[in-house]
Amino acid sequence: MKKGALAILVHGGSENWSPLRWKDRFDEVCPDRRVLLLPDAPHDPAEVQYAAVWKPRPGDLAAFPNLRVIFNLGAGVDALMADNSLPDVPLVRVAVTDLTARMSEYVALHVLMHHRQEPYLRQSQREKHWSPKSQWAANAISVGVMGLGTLGADSADVLKRLGFRVAGWSRSPRTIDGIECFHGNAGLDPFLRRTDILVCLLPLTDETRHILNRALFTKLNRTSPLGAPVLINAGRGGLQNEADILQCLDDGTLGAASLDVYGTEPLPTDSPFWTHPKVVLTPHNAADTDPDEISKYVAAQIARFEAGGALDNVVDRGRGY
């Protein structure tokens, strides 16, 4: 007998968010269940017990009266939390080794890129002229990671193993071997004061919206070997005040920025970020959600849940992440 249906609602735009690819993967890992690719698949809303979603339209999920669990197909749930009609059922997010490793690759790549002066060296290459500046050691650079959750803690560990002096900042106290841990409002200023490269891996919540602003940037270490502090944001665009970032790059408060996420995505063609000489952009692909891995993760969670087990990585709606 077929079990309760799984509805797929995916609105991504890039290749890994191809709805058909997700449908194929879920058909394979949930052979005993109807997998409905919405909005087009004919269905009775009452048959849907599970939803696997990425940026569904507000109100979409309220249509299913027998929904038991919502699986967000990414780590960040800010888009779902903004839906006032979100059904009051467990909301599970992605926290898997595959995604975590991808984010740590991105963070290591961009920290090393700024540390090793790659933008300057590539420019020199194009100009066919070397004039290398002195290269400091990794242990001369303090990296500060905002967010010490699944992604931040792993990135911090990878950076530590590369030799950087690493600190992290979280909401509640954390202890991580070899990482100087700060937390809460009281911990923010001392965390910023020692930071040469700021990596942001926070979730977007009411508390963190626009936290990356001029007032925060001015508190970063002004005596870094890099000359001026560097910002790397792979959390969410809503964490950053983009006008402040541009002004701070122009007046030297910031030396450079790597941005993966933006207030409006895709980044509008008239954004000054595209051509800014101190900015390195990526298209919100710091850590892609892999349909093969994540469909298996969701299917395993459903199987465990139906056998009476607990769901993993359930979002705390009060905290917003």
Residues that bind ligand OXD (CB under 6 A): 74-76, 94, 287, 289
Tell me the CA distances in angstroms from 158 to 52, 102, 151, 201, 259, one per residue in order. 31, 12, 11, 14, 20
- Residue 12 or 190 having the CB closest to ligand OXD: 12
Q: How far is the CB of 98 from ligand NDP (least distance, A)?
A: 11
**Which tokens in the block code for residue 294?**
């994540």
Residue 207 touches which of ligand NDP, ligand OXD, none (Cβ within 5-8 Å per kind): ligand NDP
Is 258:113 a contact under the CB 8 Å cutoff? yes
Q: Tell whether residue 150 is a contact of ligand NDP (CB under 6 A).
A: yes
Give the number of other CB atoms < 10 A from CB of residue 138. 16
Nearest 5 degrees, angle CA 287-CA 283-CA 301? 30
Choose the one of ligand OXD, ligand NDP, none that binds residue 172, judging by a C-beta under 5 to 8 angstroms depending on kind: ligand NDP
- 137 alpha carbon, distance to own chain's centre: 28
Residue 170 touching ligand NDP (CB under 6 A): yes
Selecting among 93, 114, 171, 236, the annotated active-site residue is: 236
Considering only residues 43 through 82, tell me which ones interact with ligand NDP, judged by CB under 6 A.
74-76
Tokens 């911090």, located at residue: 156
255-290 burial, b at 16+ Cβ within 10 Å, e below that, comes to bbbbbbbbbeeebeeebebeebebbbeeebebbbbb
Q: Spot the catalytic one: 33, 183, 284, 319.
A: 284
Shortest separation between residue 81's beta carbon and ligand NDP, angstroms: 10
Active site residue 284: yes
Active site residue 236: yes
Q: Please return the burial class of 19, using the count of CB atoms within 10 Å of its CB with bins 0-12, 13-18 and 19+.
A: middle
Minimum distance from residue 200 beta carbon to ligand OXD (Å): 13
H or E segment and range at residue 197: strand 197-200
Which of 29, 79, 166, 202 binds ligand NDP (CB under 6 A)? It is: 202
When binding is defined by CB under 6 A, the residue of 87, 152, 229, 237 that contacts ligand NDP is: 152
Dihedrals phi, psi of 179, to nearest 5 degrees: -120, 130
**What pairs with residue 10 in β-bridges?**
54
User: CB of 89 within 8 A of CB of 68?
Assistant: yes
Tell me whether residue 142 or residue 289 sits nearer to ligand OXD (CB atom). Answer: 289
User: With CB under 6 A as the contact rule, which of the stretches 6-14, 29-37, 125-133, 234-242 interacts with ligand NDP?
Assistant: 234-242
- Counting residues that bind ligand NDP (by CB under 6 A) gives 32
**Residue 253-272 contact track with ligand NDP, rule CB under 6 A, x = bound:** -------xx-----------
Residue 321 binds ligand NDP (CB under 6 A) = yes
Q: Nearest 5°: phi and psi at 257?
A: -145, 140
- Give the DSSP H or E segment for 293: helix 291-306
Cα-based distances in Å from 314 to 65, 70, 210, 318: 20, 10, 25, 12
List phi, psi (to 5°) of 215.
-60, -40
- CB-closest chain residue to ligand OXD: 74
We find the least distance from the C-beta atom of residue 137 to ligand NDP, in angstroms, to be 28
Residue 170 interacts with which of ligand NDP, ligand OXD, none, CB < 5 to 8 Å by class: ligand NDP
Pick from 56, 144, 203, 291 the residue near ligand NDP by CB under 6 A.
Answer: 203
Binding residues for ligand NDP, rule: CB under 6 A, are: 74-76, 95, 103, 147-152, 169-172, 174, 201-205, 207-208, 234-236, 260-261, 284, 286-287, 321
Q: Which residues are catalytic?
A: 236, 284
